Amino acid sequence: MTKLAFLGLGVMGYPMAGHLQAAGHEVCVYNRTTAKAEAWTKEHGGTYAPTPREAAAGADFVMACVGNDDDLRSVCLGDDGAFAGMSKGAVFVDHTTVSEKVTKELYNAAHTTGLNFVDAPISGGQAGAENAQLGIMCGGDQDAYDAAEPFMNVYAKVCRRIGESGAGQLTKMSNQIAIAGLVQGLSEALHFAEKAGLDGRAVVEVISQGAAGSWQMNNRHETMLDDHFEYGFAADWMRKDLGICLEAADENGASLPVTALVDQFYKDVQKMGGGRWDTSSLFKRLRKMG
């Protein structure tokens, strides 16, 4: 039995921590809202702590899945941060989607105190977390990744080290860039089919079997046509992620015209009151436009 800590019990972290506990590990969780941590221990067992530092004390591995750069800094740094409670040689695994800048900042901070840091953002949404079918893209030192990989595999469909610190976050940016274009393309295809008087489901049944097919098409077209947008990653979070992508592109010289455009479309969704709608709500935007 390995002692683990898990920081952040949102729609992703809650089931991920549960998989670790179910695998026979001793898991101590922390969540900003204590009631969520209490509910988790009642459902899964394990323990909870009032601060990241106390949750991380004595843990061989500390996993985190929080909201953004500032949230990650808050659970890592300071007197109550996880780094203050971790033992030398322990590994911090960050599953949050954050900037490459904060990843390298925390990687360096960890190493100055004898800790290891692996950036390991995830893809697969709530269903992937609940069904232990996540894609995990990692950056960091090889030995730290090798030590953490067996634990990440508890909730992963695929887990791979891409390169040095920050490479995991850059890979996640590539993932979000691809999704943005795919969802917009699917939204436009369904919108066009509706305007042409076609049965959207019949159209997808045919075109999904050819080169147009995608995960988004297979898993989202029916909910989109039914005007249901409560099935995954929120537009608010997607805008946060696309902002990270666009900032990184400004620094490395990448041209992302489609991503920049789709980011503005999600801004329109937010103005419609759809910040918590899932990313497929780009279709609802088109329907509203007529």
Domain ranges of the chain: 3-164, 170-289
49-71 pLDDT, tens digit per residue, is 999 999 999 999 999 999 999 99
Which run of H or E residues covers position 216?
A: helix 215-225
Tokens of 236: 């608010």
110-145 pLDDT, tens digit per residue, is 999 999 999 999 999 899 999 999 999 999 999 999
pTM over 0.85: yes
Q: What is the pLDDT of residue 37?
A: 98
Which run of H or E residues covers position 139?
A: strand 134-139
Candidate list 36, 42, 88, 172, residue with the active-site label: 172
> Which distant-in-sequence residues (6+ apart) come within 8 Å of 182 by Cβ?
214, 216
pLDDT band at 290 (very low <50, low <70, confident <90, very high): confident
Give the pairing type, strands 134-139 and 122-123. Answer: antiparallel
Mean of pLDDT values over 39-55: 98
Is 172 known to be catalytic?
yes
Q: What is the dihedral of CA 78, 84, 88, 90, to 10 degrees?
A: -90
Which residues is 135 bridged to in the sheet?
123, 158
154-180 pLDDT, tens digit per residue, is 999 999 999 999 999 999 999 999 999
Taking the domain 3-164, which CATH number applies?
3.40.50.720
Q: What is the pLDDT of residue 1?
A: 80
65-97 pLDDT, tens digit per residue, is 999 999 999 999 999 999 999 999 999 999 999
101-114 pLDDT, tens digit per residue, is 999 999 999 999 99
Architecture of domain 170-289: Orthogonal Bundle (1.10)
Q: What is the pLDDT of residue 232?
A: 80
Q: What is the dihedral of CA 133, 262, 234, 271, to 10 degrees?
A: -170
Q: What is the pLDDT of residue 281?
A: 98
Q: How far apart are CA 192 and CA 214, in angstroms?
A: 18
pLDDT tops 90 at residue 238: yes
